[in-house]
């Protein structure tokens, strides 16, 4: 088999062309992203470290992938844009590797391409990845409207979320720079993790894009809450950046995420 280094904007958008290849995906390096890449049958996996963040959530997939005997590595958020697999392949620098990848010669400081070439020596994937579920949580009381929802990933939104408040564990970067990727449905307000902001300030690019849709949007500091974890965002998230629509509600940098959500509920409901 001709093993290639292939890219994707997100691990939520993988297909048969990624199976048994070395994957560089624009997603953060949390456990669920590692699970989706492994589930798709990638031979080896590189993700963005999203600034590391609280409890190293941005590279938490690496021990998970070790347990599956899959080589894994993260690319520094300061070297290449999260949400952009092509950019990560072109200028990414490795920030963390798991033991399986290290055994193949992968190392911190390598270029993503060099790491990928080493990963080609990994055996083909075998077996199914154990199921790892993301989740949705209702943070507002029953009967309150609009509803405040927490979702571990923006990919979990559905049409019922139109007109609600959605606090997501996803990063705040536009996927591949596409404005349409800011959020799928017209929610009233939403939140993301700033993923360390990163190179080209990519981790907060959804915010101005959402001003154009009159959606109040904020990011929380990646060191205040775990990326990919809506409950962590709700419990300890502190706002690091916001768009004009959110600022017009009186929201400020340094506010808690709970305060933002309750302000949006009160003023937009």
Mean pLDDT score of the chain = 96
Task: Return the CA Rg of the chain.
Answer: 18
- If one counts every other C-beta atom within 10 angstroms of the C-beta of residue 16, the result is 8
99-141 tens-digit pLDDT: 999 999 999 999 999 999 999 999 998 767 888 877 899 999 9
Q: What is the 3-state secondary structure (H, E, C) of 75-117?
A: ECCCCCCCCCHHHHHHHCEEEEECHHHHCCCCCCCCEHHHHHH
CA 61 – CA 176 distance, rounded (Å): 22
For the stretch 17-45, pLDDT in tens is 999 999 999 999 999 999 999 999 999 99
Looking at residue 188, its pLDDT comes to 98
* pLDDT of 79 higher than 90: yes
pLDDT, tens digit (0-9, with 9 covering 90-100), for 260-269 = 999 999 999 8
Q: pTM for the whole thing?
A: 0.95
- The predicted pLDDT at position 130 comes to 83
pLDDT (mean) for 61-81: 97
- Could you give the CA distance from residue 60 to residue 240 in angstroms, rounded to a whole number? 22
Tens digit of each residue's pLDDT (9 = 90 or more) over 207-240: 999 999 999 999 999 999 999 999 999 999 999 9
Would you give the DSSP letter of residue 162?
T
């Amino acid at each position: 088999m001709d093993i290639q280094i292939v890219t994707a904007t997100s691990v939520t958008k993988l297909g048969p062309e990624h199976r048994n290849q070395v994957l560089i995906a624009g997603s953060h390096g949390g456990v669920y992203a590692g699970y989706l890449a492994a589930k798709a049958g990638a031979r080896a996996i590189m993700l963005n470290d999203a600034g590391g963040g609280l409890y190293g959530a941005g590279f938490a997939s690496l021990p998970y992938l070790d347990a599956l005997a899959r080589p894994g590595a993260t690319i520094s958020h300061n070297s290449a844009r999260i949400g952009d697999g092509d950019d990560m392949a072109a200028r990414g620098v490795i920030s963390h590797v798991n033991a399986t990848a290290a055994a193949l010669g992968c190392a911190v400081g390598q270029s993503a391409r060099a790491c990928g070439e080493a990963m080609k020596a990994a055996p083909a994937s075998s077996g199914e990845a154990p199921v790892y579920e993301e989740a949705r949580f209702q943070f507002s009381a029953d009967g309150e409207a609009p509803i405040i929802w927490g979702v571990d990933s923006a990919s979990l939104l559905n049409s019922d979320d139109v007109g609600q408040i959605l606090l997501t564990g996803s990063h705040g970067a536009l996927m591949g720079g596409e404005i349409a990727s800011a959020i799928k449905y017209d929610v009233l307000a939403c939140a993301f993790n700033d993923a360390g902001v990163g190179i080209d300030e990519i981790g907060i690019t959804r915010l101005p894009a959402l001003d154009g849709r009159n959606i109040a949007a904020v990011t929380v500091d990646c060191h205040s809450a775990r990326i990919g974890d809506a409950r962590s965002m709700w419990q300890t998230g502190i706002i690091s950046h916001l768009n004009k629509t959110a600022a017009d509600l009186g929201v400020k940098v340094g506010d808690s995420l709970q305060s933002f959500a309750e302000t949006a509920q009160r003023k937009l409901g």
